[in-house]
Amino acid sequence: MEEPTLAEIEHETPPSNIFIPPSVIPSSLLSGRSYTHFSPVPPSLLASTEKSVPVCLGVDEAGRGPVLGPMVYGIFYLPLPLSDPLLRQTHHFDDSKVLTAQVRSSLMQKLSTAGSDLYQSCGWATTLLSAGDISAGMMRPSNAGGSYNLNAQAMDATVELIQGVYDRGVNIQEIYVDTIGQPAAYQKKLERIFPTAKITVAKKADSLYPCVSAASVCAKVTRDAALEVLWKTRGRPPTKDEEKDRKEEGTDMEWGSGYPSDQRCVTWLRGNMHPVFGWGPECRFSWGTAKDMLEGPKGVKVDWPVDDDGDTHRLTDFFTAKDQEEGDELGTWFGTPAGLEAF
């Protein structure tokens, strides 16, 4: 994965006054659990209704590369005829990297506000893959199935989100996905799973298809808001004066964007590392940056004992009297050798 530029790092740093959408659930976030949130489905999009219209759905993600915070997959769906007029022309959705933080936050707030045209006509959902679950999957031992890499986790999240919309009775006709890696292979996998929909997987899809642009906004704002919640609870809760200064000056959280190439992130990790347990649910322990710090001079080497269930006997141990203590009934349970003199 290419390292982000300085401009991209600044863009990825969450703002101080971001809207906290309903897709951010603090209790789940702080427990380190992954979870999924679905918005209410507009009645007009249900396939069971007489006025049901064909729906297009877009998929995008945010937070693939950082060592801090979750990776978020977002989907967005709406009637095909409204895709350009409502998203592009009326609300000017675009790739989240093109929009400012304030614009993204404002769009997300409209999506979440009952009565707005976006709320009435569109649906969206996000899956938040926690840093802990990402690390657990990537570091899974061979006897538990081996590494569950990031691409596999992303694919599963995408499929479950799309299936969740189908399960809610939405008439999905077209699916557009922003890809990481080779689009053709990704598209074939999705076509096998969802054979009734026209599927397009493309690089830079978030700048080509309005529904993917909207999905990128849902994913990005959810991740930014999740980092804000994590920071206030795990980073170092600011004092009232610090919080006031931060809002007035527009300064950002001290751990920055969460990318390993962001010096603010590295400085925070070094200054807040427990020598044994490392960090909390905000950190991806499978990233090289975290591994190197834990294995460095400030980390404590821990040898974890192999699990022992207490049953180390072999079945054949019960079929021989060799080395058995006198009076051990198991050794003679099935009798003793008769010897040649018996014949």
Q: Annotated binding site for a divalent metal cation: which residue ranges?
A: 60-61, 178
Based on C-alpha coordinates, what's the Rg of the chain?
27
Continuous H helices in the chain: 6-12, 26-31, 101-111, 117-121, 131-138, 150-167, 183-193, 205-208, 210-230, 240-249, 263-271, 288-294
Q: Which two tokens stand for residue 256?
A: 């920055």
- Looking up tokens 């206030």, which residue turns up? 232
123-129 sheet: strands from edge to edge? 35-38, 123-129, 71-79, 55-62, 172-178, 198-202
**Rama region for 334: left / alpha / beta (φ>0; ψ in -120 to 50; rest):** alpha
- Specify which residues 62 forms β-bridges with: 72
Which residues line the annotated binding site? 60-61, 178
CA dihedral 157, 16, 208, 59 (to 10 degrees): 10
